[in-house]
Chains A and B, each alone.
Chain A
Amino acid sequence: GNSVTQMEGPVTLSEEAFLTINCTYTATGYPSLFWYVQYPGEGLQLLLKATKADDKGSNKGFEATYRKETTSFHLEKGSVQVSDSAVYFCALSGRTNAGKSTFGDGTTLTVKP
């Protein structure tokens, strides 16, 4: 079945540091890949997505590239802000078992001023 493995957290960075959160997946076929963000006390929000190999999703300074050869979708940001402190979830949605998105366990990011 499908699975998503995320970098374990928590991750603590200073403001303006470079961020990488690793995500690898196992899936049959060609899934779509997503990063969601959950701010404290809120539900999940879609941060970015990529639907095919070599696609780059980007939003709010975050970006991730769909790498089929390494089955990865790592999240990066060049300069984090305190307001980026949140839990980040990598997810995939496959064309088989449609409707069931598979989520990673989440990575908690804390950015200190």
Chain B
Amino acid sequence: EAGVTQSPTHLIKTRGQQATLRCSPISGHTSVYWYQQALGLGLQFLLWYDEGEERNRGNFPPRFSGRQFPNYSSELNVNALELEDSALYLCASSAPGQGGGNEQFFGPGTRLTVL
């Protein structure tokens, strides 16, 4: 069974540009989560999508947005990039009906560098 996949592996942008990161969950998983892992910091929760809807959002500005497609894959968009957006962005998925107590399966991440 294929795991969570993310693309691209690395992404280099300049300040003010937009970045688009993609995630494909494990087959059968309906929830997708996005986390930011900046250098030296822990995981910061960004967004949770389930069944195509945004269910929860972390403390990030509106220029961080995303969506989930009918096939449950997801996209994270970061507009007006700032230097401090440089980080590893991790996507995770979980099976339906887990609600609380859900085990999340992580992808390898996309390393975003903003110059």
Which among B42, B45, B102, B108 is the interface contact of A104 at CB below 8 angstroms? Answer: B42
Which among B42, B99, B101, B109 is the interface contact of A89 at CB below 8 angstroms? Answer: B42
Asked if B45 and A34 sit within 8 Å, CB to CB, the answer is no
- The interface-forming segment of B48-56, B64-72, B79-87 is B48-56
CB-based nearest A residue for B107: A43
How many residues of chain B get a CB closer than 8 Å to chain A's CBs?
26
Q: How far is the CB of B98 from chain A (nearest CB, A)?
A: 8
In this assembly, does A105 line the interface, its C-beta being within 8 Å of a C-beta of chain B?
A: yes
Query: Which of chain A's residues have a CB closer than 8 A to the CB of B33?
Result: 99, 101
Asked if A99 and B50 sit within 8 Å, CB to CB, the answer is yes
CB-based nearest A residue for B108: A43
Query: Which of chain A's residues have a CB closer than 8 A to the CB of B48?
Result: 99-100
- Please provide the chain B residues from 35 to 51 with a CB less than 8 Å away from any CB of chain A in the complex: 35, 41-43, 45, 48, 50
Asked if B56 and A99 sit within 8 Å, CB to CB, the answer is yes
Asked if A101 and B104 sit within 8 Å, CB to CB, the answer is yes
How far apart sit A86 and B102, CA to CA, in the bound complex (Å)?
A: 23
Residue among B58, B99, B100, B104 facing the most chain A CB atoms (10 A cut-off): B100
How many residues of chain A get a CB closer than 8 Å to chain B's CBs?
27
How far apart sit A104 and B37, CA to CA, in the bound complex (Å)?
A: 12
In this assembly, does A73 line the interface, its C-beta being within 8 Å of a C-beta of chain B?
A: no
How far apart sit A105 and B41, CA to CA, in the bound complex (Å)?
A: 7
How far apart sit A103 and B45, CA to CA, in the bound complex (Å)?
A: 9
Which among B31, B92, B99 is the interface contact of A95 at CB below 8 angstroms? Answer: B99
- Please provide the chain B residues from 1 to 36 with a CB less than 8 Å away from any CB of chain A in the complex: 4, 31, 33, 35
- Please encode chain A, from 5 to 45, with 1 for each CB lying within 8 Å of some chain B CB and 0 for all others: 00000000000000000000000010110101000001111
Which among A31, A43, A102 is the interface contact of B106 at CB below 8 angstroms? Answer: A43
* Interface residues, chain B, with chain A CB atoms under 8 Å away: 4, 31, 33, 35, 41-43, 45, 48, 50, 55-56, 58, 90, 92, 99-109
**Other CB < 8 Å A-B pairs besides A43-B106, A105-B41, 17 of them?**
A29-B100, A31-B101, A43-B107, A43-B108, A46-B104, A46-B105, A89-B43, A93-B100, A94-B101, A95-B100, A95-B101, A98-B55, A98-B100, A99-B48, A103-B42, A103-B43, A106-B43
